[in-house]
Structures are given as C-alpha cells and as structure tokens.
C-alpha cells in the first residue's frame, strides 16, 4: 500500500495520524507576505501526455492477457458441453444455461458451497484474531524477541505451499506422524494408528491449521506496521484515564486501524475462499469428496472428470459469490470516498 | 483517498484470478515435431516400467535403419494422472504418434475419435495371431483402434524366510490362505502377514469375479454398477478379512505409498499382492538398501484348489493418434514393435513377467519365478467391463476405492455399494 497521498504540492501541515484536524483543508493563513519561498516538496506536478499511459500499459496488458482473457474464455466455456469427446474432436457444443441449472439443482454443489463458506468464515476469524494478537505482542516485545518472532513469522510466510502441505501431511501421518506420537505420549488412547484424514471434517481441520499458520504472519506483521503509526501519546492518555487493555484496544487501536482491519479481512476472505493448492494437495478433496471446497470441486470436475464446461460454470459461480461478498467492501469504500 | 480505490481494484483483480485457476484448457501446444529438411521424428509414449530400455533401443534401431531420416523419440510417462495427459495430448495438433494405453482405458479414447482406425491394417499388424483374451479391449463397435502389446496380472509375493519360520507353504485355496496368514501373524505379531492397502481395487475385482459377478452389468442397452449386489458384498467381506492381517492404510491404494519401493523394502511384510515390475522394483530397492530379497510367488488362491482365483488381466495396448502427422510411419513402427519377432524378444527381455500379445512369442518362465506364478493364474484372467464409459469410472475420485474404504471402516457393504453404484451409473453411460 502506498502511504503518501498523491499529488498536491501544497504543504499539508498535518497529514497523519489524526485526520480530524485536517478536515478543513483551508491552507493556514500566511503570516507574512511571501517571506519564504516554498521549496517544492519532493514532487512535481504529474507528467502529462502519453507517459502515464505508457507506464501503466504493461500492467494493464498483462492483466488483460493473464486475467481478462481467461475469464472471458471461462465464461464462454461455461455455456458449452466440453467433455473428453468434445475436447479431443474439438467440437463446440452449446448448451445454454444447462451447466448452471444442473449445478444449481445439484445437492452436492450446495454442500460444497456451504462447506466453503463456513470454512472461510472460521479460517478468517481465527486468522484475524490470532494475527491481531501476535501483532500487538510484536509491538510490546523488546528488540531481540521482536526480531526472533518476526523472523519466525517470515519463515512461515515464505514457506512454499506444497512443501508446507507435505510437512503437514507427514505431521499427521497415520503410521509415522508426530501428531499420533504426541497424543500417545500425552496418554490418550486410540492413537496407535489414528487416521487423521479419515473424514472430510478432520481433513478440513488440518487444512485449517495449515492455512491459519500460513496466513497469520501476513496479518501480524501488517498489524505491527500499522501499530507503529499510532502515536504513543494516545496510549498514555488512555492509561491516564485508567482504561483496561481490552478497552484501550477497542477505543484506541481499533478505530485508528479500522481501514487496516477492513482491507486485511477482505483480502483474507478472498485468499481463503479461493485457496486451492493447500486443500487439493492435502487429500485431493477426499475422502469420498468430503473436503472439497469450491475451487477444488471445479478442478476435480474439470481436470479429473473431464467436464470442463461444468467446471467453468462452477468457477463463474464462485466469482459471482465473491463479488457478492466483496460488494459490501466496495460500498463501504465508496461511501468513505464520498464523505471525504 | 484514491489509494482505497486502488486497493479495491487490486482486490477485484485478485478475485478474478480465481477464474484463471479454474480451467484453462491449453490446446494446440507446439510439440516441435517434424523439423525442417524432410527429417521426421516419430514420437512414442510408453509407460514407466513397460518397455525394457535395451529392447526399445533395438526396435528403434531396426526401424530407423529401414527409414533413413526418421528418428524415433521415446517419452516415458507415469501412470499417475495419465488420463488427463493423454486426453490433452490427443486434442493437440501434434500429438505423440504412438501411445501406450491401459487396456481398461482404450475404449474410452476410441469413442472420442482421438485414435486412428486400424481396421484396415489388421493383416499387417498380425491380428489373427493375437491372444484372443487380449484383443477385446482394442475393439469398439467392430472396429480396431489399437494393437494389444502385453498383459500381466497380480500374484502373491511372499518372503520365503517369513513363511518358513511360520511353517507355512504356499496355499491353494482361500481357506488355506487365511490359515497361513493366521500362523504368520502368530509367529511374528510385529510384522504384517500380508500388506494390503484398503483401495487395491483390482484385487477386489478378482474376488468379485470369483463370486461369478462383475463390477458393472449390462441392463438393456445401459450399464449399471453392481457393487450393491450380495456377490460384491461377499467379495468385499473376504477382502476385509485379508486386510485384517494388514496394518496398511485403509484409504490408500497400492501406489501411495508405492508398496514395492516404499513399503516392502522397509521390512516387516511377509507377503503382498503385486505385479512383475513391482516385484522387480522391490528387489532393486532392497539391493540398494543392502538387503537381499528372497521372494517366492504363488497365484492368488481360488475358492477351490482346482482353479486359482480370478485376476484382473491388466495390460497395455499401442494406439496411433488420429491427428498424428506421420500415420503411415506410426503404423509401420507399430507393426514392427508389436510383431511376432520383437514380441518374442520382448517376452525374453521381461523374462516372462509380461505376457506378449501372441502365444507364439511366449517365453518359458524359470521355475519359482514371478512369471511362472503369473502364467498359472492368467488362465483366470479377466478385464473390467468393456465399454467406453468404463474409463470414466476409473477417473479420480474412483467410486470403487471410496466404497472399499467405507466398508473397511465398518460401513454396511450394501449401503456403501449403493452410493458407489450411483456414481458408477452416472459415469459409465457417458461417453
């Protein structure tokens, strides 16, 4: 995220953090007639002409090629029957909304939808809660411990997905897994050869652990970065008023970092909802299709079962659902935009 | 506050990227065939473990000598995920010219029109001499789409030392088999009398055939799953009894972990059910680990001593892609490789562990070898239902595997069978 506000060359005496003071944008009355020449503040006026377009062109073009084009193809595909036969013979069979009506009338599809939504909600709640907690902790720690904690967070964040899934698979392995060993050592019975991937639910719980573990660093480090912008005097003031830690958080930290919480939550919703590699690599959506989330369902229908049309329809419906959720976010943003 | 808008656009972009991981079928990839100057390359896809390197080199040498300027490029593929790969390959402009296809999957590709029709080439390919049991999977609606290459079936591989210690000799009937497993368990409770993962569905298929039934049956002009039948339940019950002497995972097949190289060499397995290349792989892996394998082999016992248990006659066919740029060359290569001379060499190179496509090329297996046990039971060899839709049944997630896991975990065989049949019915009649 860019931190500077763009553009204006007028010196804005108070930029952050309390925006309330800056609400009236009238420049301070000049005390004397032109005594000092105002030095340009780092930035000149925006370049005009073709240059800005040239600069954004590569990004836009690559977006169009890598996202927009596949998206359009995907929409087209979702109105076709494209099974193995059509795939090989390159026939185009238009079926209108058949894929959609078939899906929307399929109880399996709705099971997967509910599962994905619940799974995302639990994940995001945990990630936000734990991430915020660790972020607060980072802010309070001494230099050395903070370094150690940030480093370990960075390592978790930097771990490649499939590698981390493999590690988790082994942790929960039926025969050699450390999880079974721990349970046995703690004196629980029935963990001789406990199969952690026996049901879709327990498989999803393990995936949840992995996703939370992998996503918490992002929230925690961002939270810490955000906290550094909250002036210490605010805490001091809160302390003077005798506010508890809980109260301080809700009265000082939360309002100050509201936009941080909002964007991180929505980013996490998107990430978790579309998490594919973790879910698929853990148990291929099994057992008995019990841990399939929407992206995995689309993959198995498409690549596994050769029903590419149906798979395209699933992914379009997934996008529609995300857009529905995200529209709240966009509305909030636009509303704020108007207020300012 | 433009940055918020920028962030919002970023969010929107990320959402859209979901579509990108949905399904973009990447057609028309350039295979880089037919290089300039009249030189041609014939690409052959074979599966890992199918063709001994020396044999393959000899075939290609003979072929290249006959066709100057033509080079044969052999590309080894692995079975895991092969259907996706072959489907994509057949949709391309420059597919591999010759492909090895599993015999249960061939009809599924034939019906898509992706394979060249070889009906007119029966004479050059030596159709009449082919093993009759192996021909069926190559034909669809009276047309020939591939040539049989080899077949193989599973036998029981046992550790001679463990059997000797427990005083067990190779059984002839199911009752003797279970009796032996009991003794093995008693003599060494720490090791597994038999390693049998829960989803070894080809083994289950054999047991169902032993009951005189099948995985799916034809009902009018439609097929339907048959796992809810009492015969399937009886077969599954026997499987469950066998599996009770194993601590193998109930929700895995024999390839994850690979039983031959990842499980057996670690020790503690008195017997297991495997193919010739798996036995070979286990022997090699043990050699590498500084151990010596002392394996004996016997056919999967039948219900009575006069007939060994039914086994799935797995195997491969060689087909030519319809879009091959070098169809005529591909046919000639096929006739050469699957012809009697090279099949004789093939049988010898594999020491009989793989049955060649014609009896005339048969290799006399050594006494006590895997091949000997395999030849004994190949008489009771059968294949999965011959219908194009069968390939759909085998795609992941395989309903038969899920059925097995459920029953092994205590679910009622009939209920689990009905759930599996529902999936099979949905898939098997699709083309």
Model pLDDT, residue A282? 92
Model pLDDT, residue B73? 94
More confident residue, B177 or A176: B177
ipTM beyond cut 0.85:
no
Q: What is the mean pLDDT of residues A175-186?
A: 89
Q: Give chain B's domains with CATH numbers.
A: 40-151+314-369 (3.40.190.10), 155-312+384-428 (3.40.190.10)
Judged by a CB distance cut-off of 8 A, whether residue A276 touches chain B is: yes
Query: Cβ of B23 and A263 within 8 Å?
Result: no
Q: Is A2 helix (H, G, I), strand (E, B) or coil?
A: coil
Distance from CA of B323 to the nearest CA of A (A): 10
Give me the residue from B1, B8, B83 closest to A340, CB to CB.
B1
**Hey, what are A200's tokens?**
């879709």
Give me the residue from B112, B409, B430 closest to A88, CB to CB.
B112
CATH code of the domain in which A273 resides: 1.10.3720.10
Q: Which domain holds residue A270?
A: 114-295
d(C-alpha B196, C-alpha B154), whole Å: 13
**Hey, what are B326's tokens?**
């070098």
Judged by a CB distance cut-off of 8 A, whether residue A247 touches chain B is: no
For A271-294, how does the pLDDT look when each residue is reduced to its tens digit (9 = 90+)? 999 999 999 999 888 788 889 999
Task: Tell me which chain A residue has its CA closest to the CA of residue B10.
Answer: A267
Distance from CA of A141 to the nearest CA of B (A): 30
Mutate to test the interface with A, among B6, B7, B9, B18 (most CBs of A within 10 A): B18
Domain count, chain A: 1
Q: Is A219 helix (H, G, I), strand (E, B) or coil?
A: helix
For A203-248, how does the pLDDT look when each residue is reduced to its tens digit (9 = 90+)? 999 999 999 999 999 999 999 999 888 888 888 888 888 888 888 8
Judged by a CB distance cut-off of 8 A, whether residue A90 touches chain B is: yes
Model pLDDT, residue A28? 47
For A48-92, how does the pLDDT look when each residue is reduced to its tens digit (9 = 90+)? 788 889 999 999 999 999 999 999 999 999 999 988 888 888 888
**Hey, what are A9's tokens?**
């060359």
Query: Cβ of B22 and A311 within 8 Å?
Result: yes
Domain assignment present for A197: yes
Among candidate residues B346, B350, B348, B318, the one with its CA nearest the CA of residue B334: B318
Task: Tell me which chain B residue has its CA closest to the CA of residue A260.
Answer: B4
Domain assignment present for A172: yes
Model pLDDT, residue A174? 81
Domain assignment present for A129: yes
Query: Cβ of A88 and B91 within 8 Å?
Result: yes
Judged by a CB distance cut-off of 8 A, whether residue A321 touches chain B is: no
Give the burial string for B334-363 (b: 16+ CB within 10 Å, else e).
bbebbbeebbbbbbebbbbbbbbbbeebeb
Domain assignment present for A243: yes
Judged by a CB distance cut-off of 8 A, whether residue A270 touches chain B is: yes
Judged by a CB distance cut-off of 8 A, whether residue A231 touches chain B is: no
* Residues in a beta bridge with B182: none
Judged by a CB distance cut-off of 8 A, whether residue A285 touches chain B is: yes
Distance from CA of A207 to the nearest CA of B (A): 18
Domain assignment present for A16: no
**Residue ranges in chain B whose pLDDT is less than 70:** 1-38, 431
Judged by a CB distance cut-off of 8 A, whether residue A24 touches chain B is: no
Model pLDDT, residue A336? 75
Mutate to test the interface with B, among A84, A199, A305, A322 (most CBs of B within 10 A): A84
Model pLDDT, residue B11? 57
Among candidate residues A207, A3, A295, the one with its CA nearest the CA of residue B6: A3
DSSP-derived letter for residue B270 is S
Asked if B248 and B224 count as a contact pair (C-beta separation under 8 A), the reply is no
Give me the residue from B20, B247, B396 closest to A70, CB to CB.
B20
Distance from CA of B7 to the nearest CA of A (A): 8
Model pLDDT, residue B32? 39
Judged by a CB distance cut-off of 8 A, whether residue A14 touches chain B is: no
Share of chain A above pLDDT 90, in %: 52
Domain assignment present for A88: no
Average pLDDT value for chain A: 84
Domain assignment present for A254: yes
Does the pTM surpass 0.90? The reply is: no
Model pLDDT, residue B79? 82
Judged by a CB distance cut-off of 8 A, whether residue A19 touches chain B is: no
Which residues in chain B have Cβ-Cβ distances shorter than 8 Å to A73?
A: 24
Judged by a CB distance cut-off of 8 A, whether residue A174 touches chain B is: yes
Model pLDDT, residue A31? 46
Domain assignment present for A6: no
Q: Is B262 helix (H, G, I), strand (E, B) or coil?
A: helix
Residue A199 burial by Cβ neighbours in a 10 Å radius (0-12, 13-18, 19+) = middle
For A79-138, how does the pLDDT look when each residue is reduced to its tens digit (9 = 90+)? 999 888 888 888 888 998 999 999 999 999 999 999 999 999 999 999 999 999 999 999
Model pLDDT, residue A24? 44
């Amino acid at each position: 995220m860019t931190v500077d506000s763009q553009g204006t060359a007028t010196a804005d005496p108070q930029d952050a953090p309390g925006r309330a003071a800056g609400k009236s944008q009238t420049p301070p009355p000049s005390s004397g007639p032109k005594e000092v020449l105002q030095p340009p503040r780092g930035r000149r006026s925006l370049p005009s002409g073709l240059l800005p377009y040239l600069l954004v062109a590569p990004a836009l073009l690559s977006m169009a090629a890598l996202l927009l084009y596949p998206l359009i193809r995907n929409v087209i595909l979702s109105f076709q029957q494209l099974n193995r036969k059509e795939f090989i013979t390159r026939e185009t069979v238009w079926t209108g909304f058949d894929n959609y009506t078939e899906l929307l009338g399929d109880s399996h599809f709705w099971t997967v939808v509910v599962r994905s939504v619940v799974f995302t909600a639990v994940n995001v709640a945990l990630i936000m809660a734990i991430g915020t907690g660790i972020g607060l902790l980072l802010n309070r720690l001494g230099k050395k411990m903070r370094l150690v904690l940030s480093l370990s967070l960075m390592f978790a964040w930097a771990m490649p997905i499939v590698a981390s899934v493999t590690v988790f698979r082994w942790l929960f392995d039926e025969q050699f897994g450390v999880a079974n060993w721990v349970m046995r050592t703690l004196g629980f019975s029935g963990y001789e050869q406990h199969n952690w991937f026996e049901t879709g639910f327990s498989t999803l719980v393990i995936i949840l652990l992995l996703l939370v573990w992998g996503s918490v660093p992002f929230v925690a480090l961002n939270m810490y970065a955000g906290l550094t912008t909250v002036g210490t005097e605010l805490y001091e003031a809160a302390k003077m008023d005798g506010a508890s830690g809980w109260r301080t958080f809700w009265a000082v930290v939360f309002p100050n970092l509201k936009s941080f919480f909002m964007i991180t939550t929505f980013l996490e919703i998107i990430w978790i909802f579309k998490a594919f590699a973790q879910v698929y690599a853990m148990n291929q959506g099994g057992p008995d299709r019990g841990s399939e989330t929407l992206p995995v369902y689309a993959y198995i229908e498409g690549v596994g079962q050769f029903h590419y049309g149906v798979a395209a329809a699933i992914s379009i419906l997934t996008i529609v659902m995300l857009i529905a959720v995200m529209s709240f976010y966009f509305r909030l943003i636009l509303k704020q935009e108007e207020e300012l | 506050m433009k940055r918020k808008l920028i962030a919002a656009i970023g969010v929107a972009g990320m959402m859209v990227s979901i579509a990108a991981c949905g399904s973009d079928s990447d057609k028309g990839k350039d295979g880089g065939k037919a290089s300039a100057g009249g030189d041609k390359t014939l690409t052959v896809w074979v599966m890992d473990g199918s063709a001994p390197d020396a044999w393959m080199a000899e075939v290609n040498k003979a072929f290249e000598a006959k066709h100057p300027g033509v080079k044969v490029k052999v590309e080894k593929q692995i079975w895991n995920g092969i259907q996706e790969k072959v489907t994509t390959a057949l949709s391309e402009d420059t597919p591999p010219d010759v492909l090895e296809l599993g015999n249960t999957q061939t009809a599924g590709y034939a019906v898509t029109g992706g394979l060249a029709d070889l009906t007119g080439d029966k004479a050059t390919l030596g159709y009449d001499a082919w093993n009759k049991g192996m021909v069926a999977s190559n034909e669809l609606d009276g047309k020939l789409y591939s040539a049989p290459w080899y077949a193989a079936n599973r036998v029981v591989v046992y550790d001679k030392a463990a059997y000797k210690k427990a005083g067990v000799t190779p059984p002839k009937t199911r009752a003797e088999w279970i009796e032996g497993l009991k003794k093995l368990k008693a003599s060494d409770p720490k090791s597994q009398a038999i390693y049998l993962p829960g989803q070894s569905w080809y083994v289950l298929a054999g047991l169902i055939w032993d009951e005189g039934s099948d995985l799916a049956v034809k009902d009018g002009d439609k097929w339907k799953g048959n796992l809810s039948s009492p015969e399937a339940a009886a077969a599954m019950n026997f499987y469950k009894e066998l599996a009770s002497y194993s601590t193998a995972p109930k929700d895995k097949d024999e390839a994850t972990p690979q039983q031959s190289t990842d499980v057996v060499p670690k020790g503690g397995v008195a017997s297991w059910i495997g193919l010739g290349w798996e036995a070979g792989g286990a022997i090699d892996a043990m050699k590498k680990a500084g151990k010596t394998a002392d394996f004996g082999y016997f056919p999967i016992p039948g219900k009575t001593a006069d007939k060994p248990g039914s086994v799935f006659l797995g195997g491969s066919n060689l087909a030519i892609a319809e879009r091959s740029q070098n169809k005529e060359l591909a046919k000639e290569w096929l006739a050469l490789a699957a012809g009697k001379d090279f099949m004789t060499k093939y049988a010898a190179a594999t020491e009989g562990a793989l049955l060649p496509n014609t009896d005339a090329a048969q290799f006399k297996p050594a006494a006590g070898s895997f091949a000997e046990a395999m030849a004994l039971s190949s008489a009771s060899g059968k294949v999965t239902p011959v219908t194009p839709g069968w390939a759909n049944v085998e795609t992941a997630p395989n309903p038969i595997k899920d059925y097995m896991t459920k029953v092994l975990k205590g679910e009622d065989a009939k209920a689990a069978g009905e759930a599996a049949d529902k999936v099979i019915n949905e898939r098997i009649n699709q083309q």
